[in-house]
Amino acid sequence: MARYKIEQEALTAVLENLSGWSIQDGKLHKTFTFGSFAQAMGWMMSVAIHADKMDHHPEWFNVYNRVRVDLTTHDLGNAISNWDIELAAKMDELAG
């Protein structure tokens, strides 16, 4: 699937369908909270497998049971793309 930039008008509509996601510093952003460190790490590994298959890798930071995620597409000049939206939706799905 081709990567393409999501224009601002479309991005506003997309955010209505992505629970808890926002735009921070030009990136699609969300912080996930889990019941334990092990759950956070397990989720990160599940996401990593999917992201690697997409060849699209998140910027993320983990402390104990929290994972802060920022998504942009570097190949498109750090714009938010359809791939970021797809990965965000997969992250939500895997977080249950």
Q: The pTM is what?
A: 0.93
Mean pLDDT value of segment 2-29: 91
Phi, psi of 41 (to 5 degrees): -70, -40
Token code pair at residue 71: 């998504």
Tokens of 92: 């939500």
- Of 9-13, 41-45, 57-61, the least confident: 9-13
Which range marks the domain in which residue 74 is found? 21-95
Domain membership flag for residue 15: no
H or E element that contains 9: helix 8-16
Residue 75, domain CATH: 3.30.1360.20
The domain total for the chain is 1
Structure tokens at 41: 């790490």
Per-residue pLDDT tens for 49-92? 999 999 999 999 999 999 999 999 988 888 999 999 999 999 99
